[in-house]
């Protein structure tokens, strides 16, 4: 069977799996599990492959699941990855498949990623006698919660003998049929900082006798914004955002302590070093001016996701010839983080976005929103592109 004929047959079989994809995705959506707690989700994935006769490994690096599909002829080992954890968000959608777990929902599309990859695994296994190489289905836990599931899964051998890896993220703000992909950095390194300010509290009527931790913290929040504008090369992108400012005092008490928590995002390792150093320099300077002390902690999260050129070109060529794809665009880099970055530090590959905007504009919400949802047809598009990239990689 020619590769073109095989690809058409696989796409046809994926079409026939669409209703099953929807059913599986909605099951996961109704019964979400938080990062590192995904035992039932992992058991479902393992059971699915076991019912097909596909060899698997479970508890990989935690709750991860691997499935292995061997073609009939030698060829490259292609890994495909989907994540399956949910978020601590209350589902506010009025749909039959809304989350049944209070305070937990799939607000980022991981349920759709998993349903799509299960269908790809099923169809590749059904066609294994016509395939070349090995196909590794990586079902990853804990993407949402650093240090993430990718790193421990890699340490536990999920990429052993792998030559390349492909992954996608359903993107609910882009129209269905759109594929966004680019070489180089596509998602940012995502770091976290915590600043504890130790001043001197007192009565709100006597500020001259205090070292106001709220005032000091406010100056720090404002001054941090000068780092990006004056310390980072304007050719390079960076973001510093303070997300939490805590000083739990009565209205008439000047705080002796305040805590700031925020995130720093960058694509460049040198910029990452600058941000870590300059944030503390600002904190030290402001606290010194007011006679206060501080504690500073900078935690490095996921590295930047950096796609490999040849593998990205391969993915783009496959996408342009995939049924259901209407446009393939060079997407803009995203400041969001993703632990797919760890895979790309070990093997070549690419990470792309699949448009998944609901058809009704009023139902389009950003990722991590309580009313987040996807156009389920995007799962089929993602599955076809992933399968096509995998089975044709030996030709690239």
Q: Report the catalytic residues.
A: 85, 143
Of 323, 355, 317, 315, nearest to 12 (Cα)? Answer: 323
Within 13 Å of residue 29, how many CA atoms lie on the same side as its CB?
Answer: 26
Helices (H), 68-157: 110-126, 150-155
Nearest to 298 by CA among 270, 278, 323: 278
- For residue 147, the Cα-to-chain-centroid distance in whole angstroms is 12
Question: Do the beta carbons of residue 144 and residue 320 sit within 8 Å?
Answer: no
Question: Per-residue b/e over 19-58, b at no fewer than 16 CB within 10 Å?
Answer: eebbebbbebbbbbbbbbbbeebbebbbebbeeeebebee
| DSSP annotation of 282 | H
Contacts 24+ apart (CB under 8 A), 245-248: 245/217, 245/221, 247/213, 247/214, 247/217
């Amino acid at each position: 069977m020619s590769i073109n004929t095989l690809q058409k047959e696989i796409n046809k079989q994926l079409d026939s799996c669409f209703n099953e994809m929807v059913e599986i995705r909605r099951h996961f959506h109704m019964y979400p599990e938080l990062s590192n707690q995904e035992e039932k989700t992992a058991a479902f994935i393992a059971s699915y492959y076991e019912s097909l006769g596909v060899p698997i490994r479970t508890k990989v690096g935690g709750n991860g699941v691997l499935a292995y599909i061997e073609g009939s002829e030698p060829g490259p080992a292609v890994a495909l990855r989907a994540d399956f954890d949910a978020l601590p968000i209350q589902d506010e959608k009025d749909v039959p498949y809304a989350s049944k777990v209070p305070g937990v929902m799939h607000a980022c599309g991981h349920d759709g990623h998993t349903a799509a990859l299960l269908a790809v695994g099923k169809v590749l296994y059904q066609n294994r006698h016509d395939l070349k190489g090995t196909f590794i289905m990586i079902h990853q836990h804990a993407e949402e919660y650093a240090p993430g599931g990718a790193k421990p899964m890699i340490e536990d051998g999920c990429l052993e003998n792998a030559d390349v890896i492909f992954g996608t993220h359903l993107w609910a703000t882009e129209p269905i049929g759109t594929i966004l992909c680019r070489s180089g950095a596509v998602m940012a390194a995502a770091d976290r900082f915590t600043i504890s300010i130790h001043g001197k509290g007192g009565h709100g009527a006597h500020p001259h006798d205090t070292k106001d931790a709220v005032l000091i913290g406010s100056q720090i929040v404002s001054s941090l914004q000068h780092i990006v504008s004056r310390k980072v090369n304007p050719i390079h992108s960076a973001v510093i955002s303070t997300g939490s400012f805590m000083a739990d005092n009565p209205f008439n008490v000047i705080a002796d302590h305040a805590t700031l928590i925020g995130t720093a995002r960058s694509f460049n390792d040198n910029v990452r070093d600058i941000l870590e150093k300059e944030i503390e320099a600002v904190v030290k300077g402001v606290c010194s001016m007011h006679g206060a002390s501080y504690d500073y902690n900078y935690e490095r999260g996921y590295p930047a996701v950096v796609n490999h050129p040849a593998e990205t070109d391969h993915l783009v060529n496959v996408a342009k010839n995939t049924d259901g794809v209407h446009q393939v665009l060079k997407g803009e880099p995203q400041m969001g983080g993703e632990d797919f970055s760890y895979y790309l530090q070990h093997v070549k590959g690419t990470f792309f976005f699949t448009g998944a905007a609901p058809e009704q504009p009023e139902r389009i919400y950003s990722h991590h929103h309580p009313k987040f949802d996807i156009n389920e047809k995007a799962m089929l598009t993602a599955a076809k592109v992933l399968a096509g990239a995998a089975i044709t990689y030996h030709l690239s």
